[in-house]
Structure 1
């Protein structure tokens, strides 16, 4: 009986939520604005109104400049996920249910007031039984059901985007495919064990690498709804940047900026695993002395900064819910692009971009390379320090869109993360060039990954083959001249837009054939109608021919008008 009562109640809640979503979408005209890439402020307001699921989707969209315009990327990056904290009694119940133990047996001095609260959960500071301070992140109650329900509703609504007029989004991407990617990412984020694994992996790769530290995760205190990590004190870079806003750049700021760039390059090119959301709120600056409290009353070991000659401050990465992963092949392709950007070689940049993009429509490579050369030209005479990497990346993505190229999602996420990091670095030191800082890394990457012996052997083989081919040039030229003299020379022509031209010719031929058939149908029908007895089945067959011909003419005219309408909208 209870199940019977629960089912109608759940259906009622779903119906109410569907009505709420549709109402907000209509009020802010979300689908039309997204389709035309207009009014990003209205879309951001709608997402904030609709709650956690839509806030997360908006934040994910802000990391995809290959999908939305720069204005949307900028606006959706402002999405606020600070929400009202849950009561301590609710949090206590969740913890005790997850671990099947009383809170007092798990932790000491559990602070009832959270130190942070976001759309998916909130963080409390407490201590383990051994006295170590930890941060416990607990999911909000019911968040899994809320997100799952919203995703089910969205899976039906997302189909409507394809039917919107003047739709710029679906020209290069398939909404169902993008939604599937976001759905997978959100479902992973609902399992806090994934964040715990990300944290542990990032800890192994980056903890105590230079001035960087990462909180240690404690798996025995983690569940699908809870993540427990070492508590790290410090001041967020967001607050630090505000504090130094009008002050002169000093050695400390330069050091931090350079360290951030070098570490991020390491994450991408060496680890293949990078922090995808390095905004100032997710990085702490800890200027206190090293904490050796976990060693108990034993003699404190020598401070790290004396043995490694590091400064008396550390940078601490936080929040590992959004991470990026790239495989070795993609790393190699990215390295080729970075090397090409450093050398300002348009052809190499273009080839590198083709390797990291997916062709989603007709591609004219000659047109693409010409447009890229024209775009990259102004950068030839400017120093590396004058290049705005975020603006340059946005323009390259726009150029790819225009040529029916879709950027690899991992690369789009990387570019967004790189742009966020560049914003921090420029506030720390406006004169720094991220490409100049990255150049030594590029050299090290080449030395480490290029087999110079094989390269040398390949060049020797090329030279040997060239030495064999040179004597043949004279005889080949003579044979060509003889063919010209005999009138037997064949010339192959590579026609640009060949597929489009053939499609046009095919359409013209089809129209001519349709016209001939219609003419024959009309003439034949006229001959049948002209019979002396108008009421015979032969005369009726002629009338039927007229009706069929008229219907075909209407269909052809409608199709022609629709094609003109579509071409006009594409030009706009």
Structure 2
């Protein structure tokens, strides 16, 4: 019996604690964390009994276990005392919420996991910093560091040290260096030229590691899918390697498999790269000047996609769809039923990469090489301008030259996509450059990139006009790359923000220029753009497509056009009668109404808190009125009760104010 009573008392106590916790959250009106609210409930419940006895004894209302006044009066005073203990606990909760907002302190499990991650990160971070220091790069991560106007030999030495540091640091840093090598608009030429030497050809993983990875990705034994597979890879990169194989039906394929543990290592390194970027953005002028945090975040998102081969599979099929009717560029057929996040199976394309095709290209005439380079550029430009889906990483290793003078594309981990407005704006920009029209080029540039705040449009027109005059007679001494590099300089000087999809298009063109230069030395990108751009623009704006677009828009306008005469007649009649007016509905947006409603509630709550507090003080200081007990006036009791209400309302205002500011 005693055990049952004890259990019942414990259950009631726990229910009372959670009742107090829920009541605290409800009274404050914000989602205060349950753990701290429950702690408040335990404190109030534990202090209630002892403090209540002390209050009643000091007020002369009880003596031992004997009541000295009416039980109803004792109950009222007890309830008021409990309420004030509760509100004092609420005050402590508000102070805790201000100092440590809900969610700022993780739970024990989260703390343990974070400690493990930070320990692993610290070891890797120490190793990366040691690599940077060993190559003499430590000075660039100190507070206030600048790239400065270093001499050309000094910048060349720095570039070599940076390349070697990236090579020593591993997969993610090699990929980072390759990405930075495409940003001639942000980095000095010496750095860009050196980073382009970063290669992913690394020592292949042994077959004893690769075979289990392929089996796991397939979900079945290898011999159930492949008749044979070469243990020695065709190519080996930092993320994966490619093996030649033959399916059971005899078709030749290549198997691209991700190296074991590369995902875990790369994810850890990306965390460190983002951490370094935040530090460099915070403490160095050169980091802020090139927008290093944005670069790191964009790179991290791109590399995470590259590590998922299902994304590459979708990219391959998307690009193949744009080239279905193309006789020049071939995309390997894929086998989706055999592919997965770490495995990609594709048909094998014959040919040699541009970097290894010197002997094959030597058999082409100069005219054939020039025609091949121009045709490749025209087809890539068509992908960008007409289809909006394009290969964004056309470096020499990703383009195969075939003996029949056709081309194969490889490695679709990086594919860009341009929406219709961006394609139109880019086409107008190229057309304006072709016509030497700086005004139209400026308008197209603003449409493509968006208008920065406080833009000096006339200044942009003059800068672009100077570029067009400089390159009107040809590519200039720096080659066609000079035109685009100068255009990027104008973009940066006038604080334009280049969207990721547009940057991908320019990156694809920039990488392609170097590749085509190997096929046809002296290839003029600007001249090819003028030669092929008009045909591509005509393809992008075919009369039937324009007609269909206009018909679609007209169909959407038809209801409005049908009602237009009636509405014009109504407006004319109202003007004649002097009854024409304009009615504007204020606060039509629900967010505006919610904002003003929140402010109104806060103001009303503040006014009520102030009014009840003032009223409570007036009642508590009153010398007249009946007595509730021999020592306690009734008005003073009511004053304490009213002050309780004012105190709760004031806490509610404060906690909502701090809760909102901590999340903005």
Taking structure 1 as the reference length, what is the TM-score of the superposition? Answer: 0.68
| Corresponding position of 1:282 | 398
Partner of 1:49: 168
Q: Secondary structure at the match of 1:78?
A: coil
Shift of 1:194: 0.6
Aligned residues: 424
Residues 355-504 of structure 1 mapped to structure 2, 5 A cutoff: 355-357=447-449, 362-380=454-472, 382-383=473-474, 388-429=479-520, 430=522, 433-442=527-536, 444-445=538-539, 447-448=541-542, 451=546
* Map of 1:231 onto structure 2: 348
What's the CA shift for 1:67? 3.5
Q: 1:370 to 1:242 in 2, by over 3 A?
A: farther
* Residue 197 of structure 2: aligned partner: 78
Alignment CA distance shift 1:385-1:437 (3 Å): farther
| Matches of 1:158 and 1:386, distance apart in 2 | 36
The alignment partner of 2:244 has SS state of: strand
Deviation at 1:328, TM superposition (A): 0.6
Number of the residue aligned with 2:389: 273
In 2, distance between residues paired with 1:221 and 1:435?
40
Q: Quick check: 367-376 or 141-150, which moved more?
A: 367-376
Contact 1:346 1:373 survives alignment (8 Å) = yes
Question: Which residue in 2 is equivalent to 1:188?
Answer: 305
Deviation at 1:383, TM superposition (A): 4.4
- Residue 293 (structure 1) aligns with: none
Q: Could you tell me how far 1:170 is from its partner in structure 2?
A: 1.9
Tell me which residue corresponds to 2:45: none
What is aligned with 1:552? none
Mapped contact 1:272–1:327 kept (Cα < 8 A): yes
Correspondence for 2:240: 121
> 2: distance between equivalents of 1:242 and 1:164?
51
1:320 paired residue among 406, 412, 422: 412
- In structure 1, the gaps of 5 or more residues are 288-311, 456-572
State the secondary structure of the residue aligned to 2:491: helix
User: Which position in structure 1 is the counterpart of 2:147?
Assistant: 36
Aligned position for 2:380:
264
Distance verdict in 2 for CA 1:176–1:11, change over 3 Å: closer
Q: Indicate the SS of the match to 1:406.
A: coil
Q: Which residue of 2 aligns with 1:24?
A: 131
Larger displacement relative to structure 2 (191-200 or 370-379): 370-379
Asked whether the equivalents of residues 221 and 228 of structure 1 are also in contact (C-alpha less than 8 Å), the reply is yes
SS at match of 1:137: strand
1:206 to 323, 329, 351: 323
Distance 2:290 2:460 in 1: 15
Partner of 1:196: helix, strand, or coil? helix
1:171 counterpart = 2:279: no
Is the counterpart of residue 104 in structure 1 residue 241 in structure 2? no
- Report what 2:659 is aligned to: none
Corresponding residue of 2:446: 354
CA contact (8 A) 1:63 1:412 kept: no
Which stretch has the larger CA shift, 317-326 or 428-437?
428-437
Instruction: Identify the residue that residue 639 of structure 2 maps to in structure 1.
Output: none
Distance in structure 2 (CA, Å) of the matches to 1:6 and 1:385: 58
Deviates more, 1:269-278 or 1:111-120: 269-278
Post-superposition offset of 1:228? 0.5
Are the aligned partners of 1:66 and 1:412 in contact in 2 as well (CA < 8 Å)? Answer: no
Q: In structure 1, what is the Cα distance between the partners aligned to 2:422 and 2:294? A: 21
Aligned-partner SS, 1:316:
strand
Secondary structure of the corresponding residue to residue 122 of structure 1: strand
1:259 Cα offset (Å): 1.7
| Distance of 1:428 and 1:98 partners within structure 2 | 38
Deviation at 1:242, TM superposition (A): 6.1
Corresponding position of 2:369? 253
Q: Deviations over 1:283-335 (max 9, x none)?
A: 11222xxxxxxxxxxxxxxxxxxxxxxxx442111111111111111101100
Match of 1:131 in 2: 250
Contact 2:352–2:400 (8 Å) recurs in 1 = yes
Residues 346, 17 of structure 1: alpha-carbon distance in 2 compared, 3 angstrom cutoff: same
Task: Decide whether the 8 Å contact of 1:81 with 1:119 is kept in 2.
Answer: yes
Name stretches of at least 5 consecutive residues in structure 2 with no aligned partner: 1-111, 149-154, 551-664
Q: Per the alignment, in what secondary structure is the counterpart of residue 109 of structure 1?
A: strand
Cα 1:179/1:68, change in 2 over 3 Å: same
Residues 342 and 11 (structure 1 numbering): CA distance in 2 closer, same or farther, change over 3 Å?
A: closer
Q: In 1, distance between residues paired with 2:214 and 2:113?
A: 26
Tell me the secondary structure at the aligned position of residue 405 of structure 1.
coil
Q: Which residue does the alignment assign to 2:93?
A: none
1:215 partnered with 2:332: yes
- In structure 2, what is the equivalent of residue 548 of structure 1? none
Distance (Å, rounded) in 1 between the aligned partners of 2:290 and 2:354: 37
Q: Whole-Å Cα distance in 2 between the matches of residues 324 and 95 of structure 1? A: 29
Moved more, 393-402 or 252-261: 252-261
Alignment-derived partner of residue 150 in structure 1: 269
